[in-house]
């Protein structure tokens, strides 16, 4: 059976034409699109509004992944690791806006939710709001367009230009196999949240975030320590009100903390990283160390893993997190030699790898990426493999479901 959805052309922001013939899907359902018109009393809109009804076989829906994090927390690096797992280089739309935030590969399309800012940089300054404030974002349009893409409909997505701070003309986004929405608010609006097949939150502690920003802004951009502190403090209220609460909804959280291996460390170079995995998520089996459900502390340094000071320590066990039962894998320290990661990989289970050593191979492939020598790179890579497995399971389950049994 098919699923039919009605969209307003205002939400899709695209010109709709009535096709002269229907296209037949591989399951034998004729996909059709019909446009109808209705009168509107809204003086801001044209007197006549157009709506699109689309019907398609439900097993061909785009799978939607949400990635939430504050600015400068590693979303771009994670996206590069994720798209690499699926193969093919992720690139901006060909022939499009050179300042586009979108990345497209053979399987995935990554859109930045900054594109749904309703206010440009000047507008936010005039109204006294930050980009983190929901009032500076168009969640109605975000929901309508993500839903349309999930249902197989192309949209004209707006573009927020990070160079000029302006809202540029929109760009065409076609439905991919996997859509990744990344940014500040992928889990803020319950309507958008309900569209997600899997969600991740990158949680960088204040101490690490501060250390990273000092390293970047003082060393590379010449900012003063006082201006860096002021910038962080200015964002803090909105971050705590609108961004941080989203991690309660995430299926996986990658939490980055100061090391516990060096007392009173404040440099942020050695990190303790926790992969927090929600239990009971469909198509997702948490990764575990040695024995599932046990509580384990492991120091792997020795003959098979080279460790310079302060060494490496792993932890695994069940916990409660934001009211959810979770499994946690933790790594504190960093690798001296990435090729020796295979030793650690061999003791981790439920990795969803295609072959022995795939995690190590991916890490070596992107050895120059930030975090490749510590738990951030390791757990981002593992989550990428888990998302690939989730995608394959969903596709397989749809193929096995009789068409007549599919919910309309």
Could you tell me if 276 and 326 are in contact, meaning their C-beta atoms sit under 8 angstroms apart? yes
CA dist., res. 265 & res. 308, Å (int): 16
Domain range list for the chain? 251-397
Our measurement of the distance from residue 8's CA atom to the centroid of its chain's CA atoms, rounded to an integer in Å, reads: 27
3-state secondary structure the chain: CEEEEEEEHHHHCCCCCCCCCCEECCCCCEEEEEEEEEECCCCCCCCEEEEEEEEEEHHHCCEEEEEECCCCCCHHHHHHHHHHHHCCCCECCCCCCCCCCCEECCCEEEEEHHHHECCCHHHHHHHCCCCCCHHHECHHHHHHHHHHHHCCCCEEEEEECCCCCCEEEEEEECCCCEEEEEECCCCCCHHHHCCCCEEEEEEECHHHHHHHHHHHHHHCCCCCHHHHHHHHHHHHHHHHHHHHHHHHHCCEEEEEEECCCCCCCCCCCCEEEEEEEECCCCCCCCCEECCCCCCEEECCCCCCCCCCCCCEEEEEEEEEECCEEEEEEEEEEECCCHHHHHHHHCCEECCCCCCCCHHHHHHHHCCCCCCCCEHHHHHHHHHHHHHHHHHHHHHHHHHHCCHHHCCC
CA dist., res. 333 & res. 331, Å (int): 7
Q: Give the pLDDT confidence score for residue 37 in this predicted structure.
A: 43
Query: Which residue stretches of the chain have pLDDT < 50?
Result: 1-3, 15-40, 42-46, 48-49, 54, 57-58, 406-408
Q: Compute how many other C-beta atoms are within 10 angstroms of the C-beta atom of residue 142.
A: 27
Could you tell me if 316 and 328 are in contact, meaning their C-beta atoms sit under 8 angstroms apart? yes
Q: What is the pTM of this model?
A: 0.83
Q: Give the pLDDT confidence score for residue 216 in this predicted structure.
A: 66
CA dist., res. 121 & res. 125, Å (int): 6
């Amino acid at each position: 059976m098919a699923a039919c959805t009605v969209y307003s052309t205002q939400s899709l922001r695209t010109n709709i034409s009535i096709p002269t013939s229907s296209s037949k899907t591989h399951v034998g359902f004729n996909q059709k699109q019909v446009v109808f018109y209705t009168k509107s009393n809204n003086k801001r809109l044209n007197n006549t509004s157009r709506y699109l009804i689309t019907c398609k076989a439900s097993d061909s829906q785009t799978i939607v992944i949400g990635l939430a994090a504050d600015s400068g927390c590693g979303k771009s690096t994670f996206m590069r690791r994720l798209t690499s797992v699926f193969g093919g280089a992720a690139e901006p739309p060909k022939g499009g806006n050179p300042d586009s935030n979108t990345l497209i590969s053979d399987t995935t399309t990554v859109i930045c939710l900054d594109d749904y800012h309703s206010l440009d940089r000047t507008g936010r300054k005039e109204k006294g709001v930050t980009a983190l404030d929901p009032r500076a974002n168009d969640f109605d349009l975000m929901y309508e367009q993500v839903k349309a893409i999930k249902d197989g409909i192309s949209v004209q997505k707006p573009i927020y230009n990070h160079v000029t701070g302006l809202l540029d003309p929109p760009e065409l986004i076609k439905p991919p196999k996997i859509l990744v929405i990344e940014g500040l608010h992928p889990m803020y609006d319950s309507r958008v949240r309900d569209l997600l097949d899997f969600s991740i939150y990158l949680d960088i502690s204040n101490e690490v975030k501060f250390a990273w920003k000092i390293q970047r802004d003082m060393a590379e951009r010449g900012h003063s320590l006082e201006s860096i502190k002021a910038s962080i403090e200015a964002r803090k209220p909105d971050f705590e009100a609108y961004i941080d609460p989203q991690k309660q909804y995430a299926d996986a959280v990658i939490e980055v903390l100061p090391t516990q291996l060096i007392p009173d460390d404040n440099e942020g170079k050695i990190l303790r990283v926790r992969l927090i995995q929600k239990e009971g998520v469909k198509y997702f089996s948490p990764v575990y160390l040695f024995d599932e459900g046990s509580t384990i502390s492991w120091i792997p340094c020795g003959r098979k893993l080279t460790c310079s000071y302060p060494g490496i320590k792993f932890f695994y066990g069940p916990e409660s997190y934001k009211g959810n039962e979770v499994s946690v894998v933790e790594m504190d320290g960093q690798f001296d030699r990435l090729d020796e990661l295979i030793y650690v990989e061999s003791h981790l289970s439920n990795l969803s790898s295609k072959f022995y050593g795939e995690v190590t191979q991916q890490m070596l492939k992107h050895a120059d990426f930030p975090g490749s020598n510590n738990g951030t790179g390791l757990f981002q890579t593992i989550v990428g493999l888990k998302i690939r497995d989730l995608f394959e399971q969903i596709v397989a389950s749809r193929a096995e479901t009789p068409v007549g049994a599919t919910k309309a």
